[in-house]
Structure 1
């Protein structure tokens, strides 16, 4: 760096930081006895810091490549040249020259003036630059966006019609019809992780977007659930207990009382963020959020209540007097549930991994349309902390048991397990069975491509009332879903397409099924749902 400081003895503040300056410090800086503040930080200076500079009260030298160790001895002092001109030699006549004048020459004055102008321009340039930089940073902090899932409006959603023929027009439409994909947000880490955008910690911002859900008071929910009495307890799942609630206007809803040991909320803002994220998940086959309550330390979610309970209860807890699910009803439930997962995986952005897909989380309304519950709840919990009893009960993918990592492909595996339950009427894991038959997937997988074995595996409650080809195609789809290697499992959009084709073919064989039923002379087909 050029030394322009030798003649600037009146400087008190010098700021040369953040300029990528190289080489040794200018020697002129050491001679500036009036300097009180010197900032040469974040450059590329090398060599030693002169001992004279270390006496400055405010000295900043970080961010350079200084040489360590003792500094070399200073060079020997050399007297500076005099500014006076030497007297010219006397002339022969003994008189001295009359033009020999003392003082500073015009060139020296010009040099000082030019040096001052250069230093002033440098200082002004960096002052303006720092002001612009601070304005940009302030603008970024004020306008840094926080995005969340936007609400999606479902228009003209046509429910499935419960009959021996499935309404394929309402099933064949893609998952995104009438649904706007949520805005993309960067949320690859857990909600509890701090986002480190700079050297200083930045507090997570809460969503300012209004939550489209009803805010209930604890008093209202206590009245509606009779103080959360056991008589109104309808189930207990991974995230807490669910109670039936009936309000003064006659409306019946389900209240989920979250277990804070499973979802450890650090503050009320965490719960509000969770509610915000799940309240805008909208699909006809999702159990959508109606409202919430966060008074007195409680964390309560209010959902629609579905009178026919869960698929698990209908398949595994029904008595001999209960009406069994018909084959077409089972296909309808599989297709609706697949559409819900397709929406979470391929329409939502970023994708939502359910992590807890199972038959007890598939709720059935009065027409036996499926509604997948708990969507978005597990996203609040890091994979390493999310542990469920189903990991040892045959519902989760093998890679989850080994690594604890949940992905969309692990959801596909869990969906395949539900399809097996629909096919066989058996639970994912039954300890009462012989050891070779305890795991439903291990027992069923080798037999899925054997027609004769399929007939023996199918749920006895169906009493043979199903098309053999439909049964075989159903088995082909689920066999792909329960592949041991996740890369061989299809995405949910392909599963949906395969099930839609199965429905279309099932409707074509309806007459064959009716004819077969009449030839059997079995009037119990009227008892099927």
Structure 2
């Protein structure tokens, strides 16, 4: 019996392939990533992984589960593991479950996780610090996320918009602050949420319509009323400052709450009345009473809307819309509908959806509905609300600040910016702070209410790389802001005003500064809600502490009413994006451009615009951009103060990030979260190639984890 030789070859190939799979032969990228993780966790001997092993799937390593030759699960809870997490976990593209809970891991949580496959992540009961990396926002496959019992702080720095599969969220027993993000309303599958033992503030109205069955919000600083929808679930709520008495009535047309089903799971209550059939029959129609109620509600609301549309159509300008919220709106929030009443955050009415033909019905709005009444054409459309002084800030008197600054002496002058002068202030208790005296031309004394709104907004900004506001003064028409003081001065002074007391910044420090400012902007752009466009990013607004950690000023330009005009008057600095020069408008992308210019300063040591140089070299961006991808030209444009002491690969990757940020077309510039990840990868790759972990010229790990500090030894 003859056998076809081609058939024999095919059978031999299939046989050898099957043998490889059976024997494990783990994917080399997975092996490399796993060994990187092993080393970052201080090579724990208790795992008993083979010293020279390279096949975790074939050799059945402790805690490792595979499918074929790909690692799908890493489960190492309670193993006494220390160290940190490596920054290349995104290479495990088949990983579905990562459980490192109940260990002694620390540092910041890295910005790299598998974004298409990861379903379960458990880092609870460790010593992680810093904030939540924004990368979690881009893992739509995530089902459970447990970060409880760590030392995490800042706000919930992520968007939940894409996490529609998430069923369990646990961030309990950390130090999270701020209000719950509005994007939480997208958690359509959430079942259990543990937020207890933090410092969250604001209301929990955003949780009202989620399909929650278990909610623990104990021991926070929540205020307001508990929504009716949450009263019939397993709710633990003690240790907050809830409002007493009945909650304010809902707006007209709001669907009634079905009290018979506290779980209100997604997919249920899809009738207009908000509840199903009470008798359990198969009828799916709406009862006559419900129809009548709906019709009446629509007529009432339609009449109200028509009344105000007709009355205000000729008067309302785009500026009026902006005044509904004095905070600046980022571009992507321009379509948001703002609150009409601060006690009714859960109800939003889209005026465009109603038929104005109902204007013939003469009905008055109910007294509890907070529409802006306009009885006189001379009155503004928006009534300003009185802003209470923030409890977390100290109110200083003019006399206090005059004494501390030597009557605002020139000797105490630290600098002068677009909105006023900054003075060094030393108080009787020895504390030194920085006082910004806002020019009266920028904020006249008749805008005291606007100033308190600015103070209130700034008081909510908390990030290790954003200068902290600690107090304010508003007396006798004077408006002053009191900030923490950083004795090393500004980045501008370090780069462009060297003296015998200031040593040139080494390469490590420059990358650390770039990463810190990137994180500050990521916080303002992608964590704060609404997003904050800084508008005034420059080296003079970046302060350095004693450990050379950077602190971006808090973005006062975002809140000053005529900030754009003031900043445009100062055009020509070299920091402004091309589109700003043409339109005068600032966006998130123009911030990215300005940040790229700061990175160019760090790389070259040159000013953004230097009229003392030849015409071709006066604009730093125009001169540097063509050279960023030429390694030979790049070496010639590096700051001479570095004396050639830098890793060539690190310099090249740094230049790649710069090139992305300063692209002339704003749509091609990356979001700051991607910039942060790129800089972190730059640091990690250099660390992994050199295997050196140390300290940077007296540096600390504030804002940068200990594994990120040394780029070379």
Query: What range is the shorter-chain TM-score in?
Result: 0.5 to 0.7
How many equivalent pairs are there? 351
Question: Would you say 1:282 and 2:462 are equivalent positions?
Answer: yes
Aligned equivalents of 1:443 and 1:320: distance in 2?
Answer: 30
**Equivalent residues of 2:557, 2:563 under 8 A apart:** no
Aligned-pair distance for 1:375? 1.8
Question: Could you say which residue in structure 1 is the equivalent of 2:22?
Answer: none
Question: Could you say which residue in structure 2 is the equivalent of 1:363?
Answer: 543
SS of 1:223 mapped into structure 2: helix
Aligned-pair distance for 1:336? 0.4
- TM-score, normalised by the number of residues in structure 2: 0.46
SS of 2:567 mapped into structure 1: coil
Match of 1:393 among 554, 573, 577: 573
Match of 1:179 among 154, 178, 185: 154
Aligned-pair distance for 1:383? 6.0
Per-residue CA deviations over 1:269-316 (Å, capped at 9, x if unaligned) read 111111001011100000010101111111111001100000001000
Aligned counterparts, 1:20-31, within 5 A: none
Cα distance 1:328–1:390, how it changes in 2: closer, same or farther (>3 A)? farther
Aligned-pair distance for 1:376? 3.9
Question: Would you say 1:415 and 2:591 are equivalent positions?
Answer: no
| Structure of greater relative contact order (alpha carbons < 8 Å, 6+ residues apart) | 1
Match of 1:435 among 615, 619, 622: 615
Aligned-pair distance for 1:512? 9.1
Per-residue CA deviations over 1:2-54 (Å, capped at 9, x if unaligned) read xxxxxxxxxxxxxxxxxxxxxxxxxxxxxxxxxxxxxxxxxxxxxxxxxxxxx
- Choose between structure 1 and 2: higher helix proportion: 1
- TM-score, normalised by the number of residues in structure 1: 0.61
Question: Would you say 1:254 and 2:254 are equivalent positions?
Answer: no
**Equivalent residues of 2:465, 2:517 under 8 A apart:** yes
**Equivalent residues of 1:362, 1:373 under 8 A apart:** yes
Question: Could you say which residue in structure 2 is the equivalent of 1:403?
Answer: 583
**Equivalent residues of 2:327, 2:457 under 8 A apart:** no
Aligned equivalents of 1:349 and 1:207: distance in 2?
Answer: 19
Aligned equivalents of 2:653 and 2:434: distance in 1?
Answer: 36
Question: Could you say which residue in structure 1 is the equivalent of 2:251?
Answer: none
Question: Could you say which residue in structure 1 is the equivalent of 2:666?
Answer: 486
Question: Could you say which residue in structure 2 is the equivalent of 1:305?
Answer: 485
Aligned equivalents of 1:342 and 1:400: distance in 2?
Answer: 20
Match of 1:217 among 370, 382, 397: 397
| Structure 2: runs of 5+ lacking an equivalent | 1-105, 109-127, 137-151, 157-177, 183-319, 329-337, 341-370, 376-380, 695-711
Aligned equivalents of 2:607 and 2:390: distance in 1?
Answer: 42
| Structure 1: runs of 5+ lacking an equivalent | 1-156, 160-168, 515-527
Per-residue CA deviations over 1:71-91 (Å, capped at 9, x if unaligned) read xxxxxxxxxxxxxxxxxxxxx
Question: Would you say 1:322 and 2:502 are equivalent positions?
Answer: yes
Aligned counterparts, 1:113-152, within 5 A: none
SS of 1:394 mapped into structure 2: coil
Question: Could you say which residue in structure 2 is the equivalent of 1:507?
Answer: 687
Higher-Rg member (1/2): 1
**Equivalent residues of 1:353, 1:376 under 8 A apart:** no
Question: Could you say which residue in structure 1 is the equivalent of 2:647?
Answer: 467
Cα distance 1:242–1:510, how it changes in 2: closer, same or farther (>3 A)? farther
Aligned-pair distance for 1:178? 2.1
Cα distance 1:346–1:235, how it changes in 2: closer, same or farther (>3 A)? same
Aligned-pair distance for 1:377? 3.8
**Equivalent residues of 1:294, 1:300 under 8 A apart:** yes
Aligned-pair distance for 1:261? 1.0
Match of 1:476 among 636, 639, 656: 656
Question: Could you say which residue in structure 1 is the equivalent of 2:514?
Answer: 334
Question: Could you say which residue in structure 1 is the equivalent of 2:235?
Answer: none
SS of 1:391 mapped into structure 2: coil
**Equivalent residues of 2:525, 2:533 under 8 A apart:** yes
Aligned equivalents of 2:555 and 2:672: distance in 1?
Answer: 16
**Equivalent residues of 1:364, 1:370 under 8 A apart:** yes
Cα distance 1:475–1:332, how it changes in 2: closer, same or farther (>3 A)? same
Aligned-pair distance for 1:513? 12
**Equivalent residues of 1:383, 1:406 under 8 A apart:** no
Cα distance 1:435–1:346, how it changes in 2: closer, same or farther (>3 A)? same
